[in-house]
Amino acid sequence: MSDYTATVAQAKADLQAHGVDLSGSDGAFNICVLAARRIPGGGVKGKPVGTNSHGCSIKSVVLKSPDEDGNNDFEVLISPGTLNTPEWKGFANAGAIWIDPRAAGMPSWIWETPAPVPVPPPDPVPPPAPGDLLAILSSIDRSIASIHSLMAEIATDGLKVRS
């Protein structure tokens, strides 16, 4: 049986340590989002009606694939928005809607370390024909431009601030 109670508790503690307001529906939802990001296959549970935040449940995490007990829907907070007591109580719920906790519009925090985005390598530059000096210089020029472009991308990505 999976048990991610400690993961939920750590998500809550990390949010508190960074001064995030955990009161109300949005506060509880922040815990669910951060916990879901740290649980393999974890997502937030879509809940468009009733008590929700961002159209999602304020007390649940959903797994993409059921655990060894067949559960995919987990209540992770007791008294969400007030006590926010961590728990891990599973249910088999075929109708649970899994939503990516990293999707656009989901809460994010500047201090949270995002997963690195893989950058595909640049297309290889075909070698020039032997003795073709102009083609060799052109190839070197393209390689230098490619290197400068990658360096600019790295510098820009390193300075991006998420809100």
Cα separation, 62 vs 71, whole angstroms = 9
Residue 80, CB-side half-sphere exposure with 13 Å CA sphere:
22
Quick one: which H or E segment has residue 43? strand 42-46
Decide: residue 10, CB within 10 A, 0-12 exposed, 13-18 middle, 19+ buried.
middle
Residue among 73, 111, 89, 83 at smallest CA distance from 12:
83
> What pLDDT is stored for residue 161 in this prediction?
46
Q: Note whether 77 and 85 are within 8 A (CB).
A: yes
Task: Give pLDDT tens digits along the chain (163 positions).
Answer: 679 999 999 999 999 999 999 999 999 999 999 999 999 999 999 999 999 999 999 999 999 999 999 999 999 999 999 999 999 999 999 999 999 999 989 999 888 865 556 677 778 877 666 667 777 788 888 899 888 888 887 877 655 544 4
Domains of the chain, residue spans:
5-99, 116-163
How far apart are the two ends of the chain, measured CA to CA in Å? 36
Cα separation, 125 vs 117, whole angstroms = 24
